[in-house]
Amino acid sequence: MSRISDNYGSSWQKKFSDWMKNGWDGLDENMAREDTAPREETPAEQTDLFTLKVREDRERQRDVYSRLHQWSVTTGARRIHAVYVILSLFTCGAIIFFLLQAVGGLPLYGAADSPVNNEVTRRYIEQGIEETGAVNFVSSMILDYRAFDTLGESTVLFIAACTVMILLRSDVGANGRPEKGSLIVSPDQSDGKPDPILKHAAMFLIPVILLFGVSMVLNGHLSPGGGFSGGAILGAGLMLFLNAFGRDRAVRFINYRTFITVIFTALIFYAGAKSFVFYTGANGIPFRFPLGTPGAILSAGLILPLDICVGMIVSCTMYGFYNLFRKGGF
Amino acid sequence: MDLLRNVPFVCVLLPLITGIACAVLPRRGSKFLCFVTVLVLTGANAYSIFRFVSGAEPFTYPMGHFPGPWGNELRSGPLESTMALCLSLTAFLSLWAGSGKAGVHIPRGKQGLYYSVVCLAAASVNALVYTNDIFTGYVFIEISTIAAGALILSRQDGHCLAGCARYLVMNLVGSGLCLMGIAMLYGQTGHLNIDSLRRSLSSPPQPLPISLRTVIVLLTVGLGIKSGLFPFHSWIPDAYSYSTPASGALLSSFISKGYIFLLVKIVVRVFGLETIRASGVCPVVFAFGAAGIIMGSVSATRQSDIRRMVAFSSVAQIGYIYMGIGMCTRDSIIAALFHVAVHSFAKSMLFSSAASLIASSGDRAQMDSLAGSGRRNLPAGIAFTVGAMSLTGVPLLGGFLSKIYLSQAAIAIDTFHAVAVLLTLALSTFLQTVYFLHAVVNIYRPKEKSVHSEKQGILSGAALCAMALINILLGTASVPLYRALLSGFLQF
């Protein structure tokens, strides 16, 4: 049996258990005294010299405290802010200095003897057409030699779309399927009446923009461009359409279901086809997609279908972002 | 057509494809598919360790018809597959223990997307572990970054949104620094493939040119920010503690560990330990690691919310890992990697069990309202106690061994490192005892008033027991793990 000591109130056990319960503070005991109401002073005490001295001291102390407090919220805060600014300027300056020095140590851009011009780029340029069938080196590099990175980049777009949908999508019902009429902002409020000038300009612009985007996607293996840039143009065209003709016309051909179906199909096709290529390539299975004649539209093996997939992913993600950021749904 | 050769390929491409599929499947289907995927990953990695232990050689796996510096490559060896196994197992257990709460915290219509993001995060962490190409590493850093953001904000309350904003600001700076580092490295060597980089950096000029030093600094700081190294840790507490428990566990013990392994890969395989030592980065990383241990522990003692306490303890544990990397010897990096495994298992368990304890105390996370929760919720109490003891460094548990390995590595270097590490370990052990003891005593303190206690499912209890068992095994039977790390490091 343990014995509770007489002065349990101030013992270590009591303090420890108090601290365990709710964070005991060593200052509590001293602070508690100030909470009690000031004692009434008898006239005899007022005349006491000692009491007068104490009161004077206390006044002076309070004065010092208030001046200190005043200093810390005015001058002190300003000085600390100044020190902060000076320190951050100094840090930025140091980082800029070291980065500039590091850039000075890099090989000259475009110099013939720079390390970038090595066997890697030589093979891309000299054997690219023969090995991949694509006239455009960039396409052959990003969609054949280093297709795994591009698969990763397309997945970045996909996961960004997923994240924005988790964050912003508000037109989804309790069962996970899109519901009508549950938009935070109703279509009439957000759209207003489409602008006639925009509408007429869009009638001319949109076909050109969409055709340009499609041709850029389809010619990715032949000329500069490709899935990413063509897809961005297509996405911009779709956004223009939405703005010019309003949501009611836009959802007729692209709503949430088509959006997710297109992205899903394109990405699954991309991942599946590329997995097949990775698997056959790494395990030495002699299967190659026919490369065709370089320069023809139907050539370069998988590059054309993959460009189309990337174009669809990019355009749909851009259009989807625009819709989700605008009012949280299609 | 060896099965072992295709394990890295499966580990990256399978979760990628199932992640895409999860986004269109209904809620239950995507949850099931996600669990199966992570389980398959664990099995595949276990199989590849088994093959490496029985004498298989490390290999590189070309992604496509073009090998070496022209195409992308994956590489697998004992070290990679050990790390991938530890991380996949942690991910599986965290998901298992946290799936109940995830069903409550995340809006029903968005749970399919949540599991899709989890699968993609698994793909990216496996890719970070297995990649043999530094730019592929960067692409998957991007995926991990966005995936982690989605995991944080999937529980849509104010704390999580603010935490996610803070997380994104810090982490995008980290990604940017990494990208700058990779670009400057490419400019100086003309390579992105790690084997080719190693060849062209095998005998750098002495003293090291400043551009090469800058690359090392940029990559270290970038990956340090992303894994929550001390001065850049301010995003950790909000992000880890307020998100749904499965997310907190995955972020602290799965995603951040992928970045750490990539950093180890860059330090050891791209530059080599001698170059890193010559660059002068080591003492700085060492000092930041030590400061992180102390500051993280001091901050943890001041928290009254148990989740924030566990999150600040993460800062301290990341400090141990960076202290190991900062000593820059073979043994210290193996100790750091061992601590990665220990911390993954212990921290995922702490986050899951803390969430379970909170649920059985009427959803209140303050220390004093948790009184008696360890008795109401037996498995969670045991799991929390085991995790706290492991990270404090009680013998027979994993944390004790990693402290021993770290001190041994430090003593082998010189007196300064030995004294610094031993003092830091002593101080941090004291501080960790203070805050973990506070928490453990609190959850077993009797409580007079009855509280609303949520009934915990038998499944999450089983997951917590499995985690506790793994932690005890890490302390008592971890010789095979250490040996696998050692042989993997020698063949790295």
Handedness of CA B9, B78, B62, B262 (dihedral sign): positive
Confirm whether B400 is domain-assigned: yes
Domain of B444 in residue numbering reads as 281-492
Prediction pTM value: 0.86
Confirm whether A298 is domain-assigned: yes
Taking an 8 Å cut-off on Cβ atoms, the answer to whether A174 and B109 are in contact is yes
CA distance B479 to chain A (A): 34
Confirm whether B316 is domain-assigned: yes
Q: Residues A140, A196: one domain?
A: yes
**Residue that terminates a domain, selected from A104, A123, A152:** A104
Q: Write the residue in A148, A152, A271 that is nearest to B17 by C-beta.
A: A271
Q: Residues A228, A97: one domain?
A: no
- List of chain A residues whose C-beta atoms are within 8 Å of the C-beta of residue B65: 277, 280-281, 288
Confirm whether A39 is domain-assigned: no
Q: Which residues of A292-317 are buried (b: 16+ CB within 10 A; e: fewer)?
A: eebeeeebbbbbbbbbbbbbbbbbbb
Q: How many independent structural domains does chain A possess? A: 2
Taking an 8 Å cut-off on Cβ atoms, the answer to whether A159 and B442 are in contact is no
Is residue B45 predicted with pLDDT exceeding 50?
yes
Maximal CA-CA distance, chain B: 71
Compare all CA atoms of chain B with the CA of A259 and give the residue at the minimum distance: B24
**Across A76-85, B63-72, B128-137, B425-434, least confident range:** B63-72
Confirm whether A67 is domain-assigned: yes
Tokens matching residue B291: 């400061």
Q: Write the residue in B66, B109, B441 that is nearest to A173 by C-beta.
A: B109
With an 8 Å Cβ cutoff, is A160 touching chain B?
A: yes
Q: Residues A199, A290: one domain?
A: yes
Q: Residues A236, A195: one domain?
A: yes
Interface of A with B in 166-225 (CB under 8 A): 166-167, 169, 172-177
Instruction: Check if the beta carbon of residue B342 is closer than 8 Å to that of residue B299.
Output: no
With an 8 Å Cβ cutoff, is A275 touching chain B?
A: yes
- List of chain B residues whose C-beta atoms are within 8 Å of the C-beta of residue A175: 108-109
Is residue B1 predicted with pLDDT exceeding 60?
no
Instruction: Check if the beta carbon of residue B467 is closer than 8 Å to that of residue B103.
Output: no
Which contacts (CB < 8 Å, 24+ apart) does range A172-177 have? Answer: A172/A329, A172/B107, A172/B109, A172/B110, A173/B109, A174/B108, A174/B109, A175/B108, A175/B109, A176/B26, A176/B27, A176/B108, A176/B109, A176/B110, A176/B111, A176/B112, A177/B109
B414 contacts: CB under 8 Å, gap ≥ 6: none
Burial of A82 by CB count in 10 Å (0-12 exposed, 13-18 middle, 19+ buried)?
exposed
- Give the CA distances from residue B14 to residues A21, B10, B121, in Å, rounded to whole numbers and listed in that order: 50, 5, 12
The residue assigned the tokens 């924030």 is: B308
Instruction: Check if the beta carbon of residue B345 is closer than 8 Å to that of residue B471.
Output: yes
Q: What is the DSSP letter of B243?
A: S
ipTM score assigned to the predicted complex? 0.91
Instruction: Check if the beta carbon of residue B73 is closer than 8 Å to that of residue B67.
Output: yes
Confirm whether A27 is domain-assigned: no
- 3-state secondary structure (DSSP) of residue B324: helix
Q: Residues A160, A302: one domain?
A: yes
Instruction: Check if the beta carbon of residue B37 is closer than 8 Å to that of residue B119.
Output: yes
**Across A26-40, B84-98, B111-125, B335-349, least confident range:** A26-40
Tens-place pLDDT, residues B19-42: 999 988 888 889 999 999 999 999
CA distance A140 to chain B (A): 11
Reported as a pLDDT band with limits 50, 70 and 90, residue B151 is very high
Q: How many independent structural domains does chain B possess? A: 1
- 3-state secondary structure (DSSP) of residue B59: strand
Handedness of CA B85, B91, B95, B101 (dihedral sign): positive
Compare all CA atoms of chain B with the CA of A104 and give the residue at the minimum distance: B211
Helices B158-189 and B134-153 meet at what angle, rounded to 10?
170
Confirm whether A21 is domain-assigned: no
- The predicted pLDDT at position B265 comes to 93
Taking an 8 Å cut-off on Cβ atoms, the answer to whether A148 and B63 are in contact is yes
Domain of A139 in residue numbering reads as 135-327
Find which of A163, A179, A265, A291 to mutate to test the B interface (most B CBs within 10 Å of its CB): A163
Interface of A with B in 8-27 (CB under 8 A): 20-23
Nearest partner of B438 among A322, A123, A16, judged by Cα: A16
Low-confidence stretches of chain A (pLDDT beneath 50)? 1-2, 31-36, 174-176, 179-189
Q: Residues A184, A225: one domain?
A: yes
Q: Residues A279, A172: one domain?
A: yes
Q: Residues A319, A216: one domain?
A: yes
- The predicted pLDDT at position A43 comes to 57
In this prediction, residues B344-352 reach a mean pLDDT of 92
Confirm whether B225 is domain-assigned: no
The residue assigned the tokens 């196994």 is: B85
Tens-place pLDDT, residues B315-324: 999 999 999 9
Confirm whether B417 is domain-assigned: yes
Side-chain-facing half-sphere of B320: CA atoms under 13 Å? 35
Taking an 8 Å cut-off on Cβ atoms, the answer to whether B69 and A106 are in contact is no
Find which of A137, A141, A148, A150 to mutate to test the B interface (most B CBs within 10 Å of its CB): A148
- List of chain A residues whose C-beta atoms are within 8 Å of the C-beta of residue B140: 152
Reported as a pLDDT band with limits 50, 70 and 90, residue B452 is low
Q: Residues A73, A183: one domain?
A: no
Confirm whether A113 is domain-assigned: no
Q: Write the residue in A146, A156, A176 that is nearest to B143 by C-beta.
A: A156
Confirm whether B403 is domain-assigned: yes
Compare all CA atoms of chain B with the CA of A261 and give the residue at the minimum distance: B24
- List of chain B residues whose C-beta atoms are within 8 Å of the C-beta of residue A275: 9, 13, 17
Confirm whether A3 is domain-assigned: no
Confirm whether B68 is domain-assigned: no
Please give the residue that has the higher pLDDT: either A221 or B412.
Answer: B412
In this prediction, residues B440-464 reach a mean pLDDT of 79
Tens-place pLDDT, residues B253-306: 999 999 999 999 999 999 988 889 888 899 999 999 999 999 999 999 888 889
- List of chain B residues whose C-beta atoms are within 8 Å of the C-beta of residue A20: 438, 441-442, 445
In this prediction, residues B368-397 reach a mean pLDDT of 89
- Measure the CA–CA gap between B5 and B73, rounded to whole angstroms: 12
Nearest partner of B184 among A113, A105, A96, judged by Cα: A105
CA distance A76 to chain B (A): 25
Q: Residues A190, A72: one domain?
A: no
Taking an 8 Å cut-off on Cβ atoms, the answer to whether A98 and B70 are in contact is no
